[in-house]
Structures are given as structure tokens and as C-alpha cells.
Structure 1
């Protein structure tokens, strides 16, 4: 029994170490389930539950895997994922047999790079069409072969150099008084090139910085600017809704968001509530915008005044999904009258024919007044319920 317990403890410790390694590995690249990797001179079998999507984009889903037999012209293009969700497309030659999740060696400019297979077959072709990538205009590079263990070990050692490079580049940018922030560094697997990602509000002249970085690291330097939303998606975090950021978990494209989205959805224009962690307007303002826009299109213009014999009524507010609008008479703004969409259109048609109804609510039985769900039980809400006890105590003290 003792030996079994010791063996179980050793297995648990090994699994914990593996999970820590995979956590670091997955932070570096957008990883898929990988098997038979070697970390710390130990060959391990990494199951899919160890590779966690820690603040990274969702994996591409190949929905054509079950119907490959029906596809006549199979595509030989594959989608390869690299760090920070960067994905590129490569040509598969020499009938190389690979599957999703394999670590492969691919051509780069210059040298070679290492990535993980995300999509194969016809799904890759459709993905390229979705991103408006034409094969005739695209610089097609080849998949060389599957990676060997020494190459994976070298790749891991190269990735360990990225964090020191970030801090070093930030110090250099600070000394040069450049208004930019180096957010991440991506080394090529053969250590011949490094991509420095940065954010900046305005255009930055970083030519001097590139010269110094090339001298410091003795590699080819490439600078890429990323927006605030992309940077927030790379770092990850929790939104005001309590869930992981959409840009970090599943969003791959960022559409423009304006304050008009908030106005259409009848939200208060409060920058603290409408702004996200990236200090920009929240992307989720776009999610229901089309529904609100379509529903609000059924309503007449808010500037139309409803004329009745009792007086003119002006628009105050509406509920687009319940199809209810609130109006008030000119001299009674504190009294809001709910009207259904049918009744509003009916009054407008009557006004066009110079007919004025006696009242807004005339013949309108579709809108019912909402009654409160609570009840005042034994005077619980009375503010004077505590005064009686205090008076009783004071009488006792006086005696």
C-alpha cells in the first residue's frame, strides 16, 4: 500500500510539473493538444486536458472532418499557428502526413520557423477565402517536415529569451524618449529574426531603436504596431461581466465601435461603464446593436407629436422589444402614458386625416399597467417602527 501511495504521489508531482510547463508553453503560443513532447529531459505524453486555453483565441474548428470522402479536390494548404494567435498558411508537399496538433518545421524569411498545425484540408481553403487571401497573390511557403526532439528543445530555449528582451527593449525606448510601449517579443525558432510588438498613440520614429536592438541582440529586427484592443486580448483579463475578455477568448476581428451604438441601445453615455480594459469602447456594444436597430426601425420618428382633443403629446422613451413607447402631454410631463406601437400608428394615421381622438389611451387595451410584486407586510417598511421601541425604553428609564 505504501509503495502504491508513493507511486501515486510521484505521478501527481510529475503531472503538476507537466502542467506548469504546458502553462508556460501555452502562454507562448496558441497551443492545441500535443503529445509526446520532451520537457526537462523527460519524454512525456501531454493529453488535451493539460493544454489550456489561457487567454488565447479559440482554436479553429474543422467541421469538414467527417465528410472528407465527399470532397474530390482536396486542398494541400495547411494553417499553422504561432505566438500571439498569429496564423499563416503553408503548402504541404511530398505527401507528408500530418494532423492537427503536430509541431512542424516551416519555411520563413529568412531561415525556418516552428509552429503548430491548426487546420488541414478543405477547411483551410475556406478559411483563406474568408480572410480574402488569394493563392495567386499570397507568398506561399512550404511545410518542411515534422519537428524532431532536438529542434523542439532549441525552440523552447529560444522562447526563454523573449522576456528579458522585452525589458531590455523597454529600457532602450525609455532612454530614447520614444512615446511607445513594447508589449511583446516573438523570436523565430532559428533565432535569426525577432518581432517586437508595440503600442503607440501617434506615429513613432523608431529607426534609431532598431539599430540599437540589432546591435544588442545580433539578429534581424522587425517592429509591428498593435492596437489597444489587440494588446488587451494578448494580456487577457476579466471584464465587467465577470467572464474572460472576448478579445482574449474567441474574438479574432475587431470592428469599430462608436457612441451611436450606445445611443441606439438606450445606454447612458458614461465612459466608465462603456469603456473596457483597453480604455476603448467595449466590443460587446456591437453584439446586440443590429437587433436594437432592427427593432427600433418599426417605431415612427420620435419628433412626431401626437395630437388629441386633450392636448399634444410628445415622446419620452420606448421599449423596442416590448413595442411600447411612453408619451406625456405638454402640461403633464411628470405623467408618463404607455402606448403600444399599434396605438401610436393609429393616432398618427388619424392625425393625417385631421381626426383627433379624445385621449391617448382611448380604445387601447394592449398595454397593462405593471403592478409591484412586493407587499408591505405588517408595516415592515414603516420608518417609524423603531420609534415605538425607543419610547418604551425611555419610559422605563424615567421610572
Structure 2
């Protein structure tokens, strides 16, 4: 099966599209037929073959390469969706629904108007759908998304001073655990290890494999080990520099590189 890896122009999310016999390049815009209607997508990876073992269920089928008219319609739809967003926000307040509207989006053919929202619990929005359908005379879809997806949609700057990873290059979210922060000896204060979404920062995963592998090769704090200057107790380790702090019976403290300790073991 030949597929294309693509994404939405305003929202970085990898989707897999059934390809046609057309030459494409990275960053080309294409028109795709999906279950929601015809949509404009941007190519991340041109057509490639997928083996039966790695088969991916395509989320749509490419129809053609986009035209200037398609791009104009896309921009026009964005303006109309902004107006729909404001109207829907007003309707939500009138109905006192406990939900936060994130954005609104038309499919390229305007056959569906999609509203993404977050909420702490399940929302009965049937009346809201009726109001919106009566106003815009098209199919309405309200999708409850996670706070991580909300941060990806809205974008912003992380504590590192750079744009959110999820909004710039992370196509899919990676599971992150508190153990990753512990492996890296980071502060476990929620304000220090949480992103704008309020969840653990995705970047905790980036170096976790290195920290875990390296920690397994180094002695544990509190362990007694042999050193070039005799036997002592480990009181600290520096994983990045591969340095071990050792304290002796006379309270003298000395640092050793991991290579020195391995040579001592030999």
C-alpha cells in the first residue's frame, strides 16, 4: 500500500493518507477525501510503500494537488470559522455549559463545521448542536479534546524559551512518567516539570534512555565500592559527567570518573 504522511496546516498531527500516482514533495498541499469531508493537508513525507507487517489504516484518500483556488477557499474558511467560534462561545455562555471552546474549523468543502473543546467532565451539548446547526445550516461536530491537544492547537512558549514541542515537531504525544524526572534527578515540584498543558513536559522523555542506561552502569548512592584509594561509600553521582563522589572513613571526599572505577574493578 502506498501512503502519504501528512498534517493539517494549522495543527501538527500526523495522518496517513492513501496515495495516488502523483509525484509529491515535502510541504506540498493536497486535497484529501476523509470521513469528515474534503480537507486541505500538507505533505510531511511523499508517497512510500508500507509492508503488510506495518500496514497503517489510511485516514483518507488523496484526490489531487491543491490549487490557488483551494488555498483561497481555505483562508476564507478560516475567517468564517473565527466568526463561528465567537457565536458558539456566546451560545455556550447562554446555556451555562461547563466547557472551554478551543477553536472552530470548516472542512474545505464546508460540509462540516468542527468545534474542539475541553471539559473536566462529560457534557450534554445536544441543544448547543441544534443551535449551531440552525445557524450555519451544515453538519456540526463537537469534539472533546485533551489539555495536551489544546496546548498543541494554541501554541506558545515553554519554560525553555522555545516554542512548544507539540506545536512544532512532535507529531504524536509520547507517554511521560514521573519516573523519568526521578531518573534525571529533577525537582518533582509540579511547577518545575509541567508544561503549559499542566501535564508532565514531553521533553522529559528525550534523554531518559541515556539516564537510565548510564545509571545502571554506575554505583548507587550509599553503596560501598573499591577505588584507587581504597574502599569508600558513594555519596553522590553526576550522570552527565560520569563522576562518582566517594567518602572514606576519615570523612575525606574524593571524586572519580567512572572509567577509573571500572579500571579498579578489572
TM-score under structure 1 length normalisation: 0.54
Q: Which residue of 2 aligns with 1:242?
A: 161
User: SS of the counterpart of 1:161?
Assistant: helix
Q: Which residue of 1 aligns with 2:17?
A: 89
Matched, 1:168 2:87: yes
- C-alpha displacement at 1:188, in angstroms? 0.9
Which residue of 121, 127, 132 corresponds with 1:202?
121
Question: Residues 6-43 of structure 1, C-alpha deviation per residue, up to 9 Å, x if partnerless?
Answer: xxxxxxxxxxxxxxxxxxxxxxxxxxxxxxxxxxxxxx
User: SS of the counterpart of 2:98?
Assistant: coil
Residue pairs, 1:213-224, within 5 angstroms: 213-224=132-143
- C-alpha displacement at 1:239, in angstroms? 2.1
Question: Residues 282-331 of structure 1, C-alpha deviation per residue, up to 9 Å, x if partnerless?
Answer: 21111111111111101234454569xxxx96543211243333344689
- C-alpha displacement at 1:177, in angstroms? 3.1
Going from structure 1 to structure 2, the CA distance change for 1:114 and 1:338 (only over 3 Å counts) comes to closer
Residue pairs, 1:97-136, within 5 angstroms: 101-109=27-35, 112-122=38-48, 125-126=49-50, 133-134=55-56
Q: Which residue of 1 aligns with 2:217?
A: 298
Measure, in 2, the Cα distance between the counterparts of 1:228 and 1:214.
26
Question: Residues 236-274 of structure 1, C-alpha deviation per residue, up to 9 Å, x if partnerless?
Answer: 222222222222221112122222212111122222222
Segments of 5+ residues of structure 1 without an aligned counterpart are 1-74, 350-399
Structure with max Cα Rg: 1
- C-alpha displacement at 1:102, in angstroms? 4.8
- Could you tell me whether the CA contact under 8 Å between 1:327 and 1:337 is conserved in 2? yes
Q: Identify which range, 149-158 or 207-216, moves more after superposition.
A: 149-158
Measure, in 1, the Cα distance between the counterparts of 2:88 and 2:236.
54
Measure, in 2, the Cα distance between the counterparts of 1:296 and 1:108.
47
TM-score under structure 2 length normalisation: 0.77
- C-alpha displacement at 1:181, in angstroms? 1.3
Question: Residues 43-73 of structure 1, C-alpha deviation per residue, up to 9 Å, x if partnerless?
Answer: xxxxxxxxxxxxxxxxxxxxxxxxxxxxxxx
- C-alpha displacement at 1:224, in angstroms? 2.4
Structure 1 or 2: more strand by fraction: 2
Which residue of 25, 42, 61 corresponds with 1:141?
61
Bigger relative contact order, structure 1 or 2 (CA pairs below 8 A, ≥6 apart): 2
- Could you tell me whether the CA contact under 8 Å between 2:12 and 2:166 is conserved in 1? no
Measure, in 2, the Cα distance between the counterparts of 1:139 and 1:252.
15
- Could you tell me whether the CA contact under 8 Å between 2:12 and 2:152 is conserved in 1? no
Q: Which residue of 2 aligns with 1:156?
A: 75
Matched, 1:338 2:255: yes
Question: Residues 314-357 of structure 1, C-alpha deviation per residue, up to 9 Å, x if partnerless?
Answer: 5432112433333446896xx6443555787899x9xxxxxxxx
Q: How many aligned positions are there?
A: 259
Going from structure 1 to structure 2, the CA distance change for 1:115 and 1:255 (only over 3 Å counts) comes to closer
Question: Residues 63-113 of structure 1, C-alpha deviation per residue, up to 9 Å, x if partnerless?
Answer: xxxxxxxxxxxx754445434234441342xx5566555544433446533
Residue pairs, 1:1-399, within 5 angstroms: 77-82=3-8, 83-86=10-13, 87-92=15-20, 101-109=27-35, 112-122=38-48, 125-126=49-50, 133-134=55-56, 137-138=57-58, 141-143=61-63, 145-147=64-66, 149-305=68-224, 315-328=234-247, 336-339=253-256, 341=258
Measure, in 2, the Cα distance between the counterparts of 1:325 and 1:99.
50
- Could you tell me whether the CA contact under 8 Å between 2:24 and 2:47 is conserved in 1? no
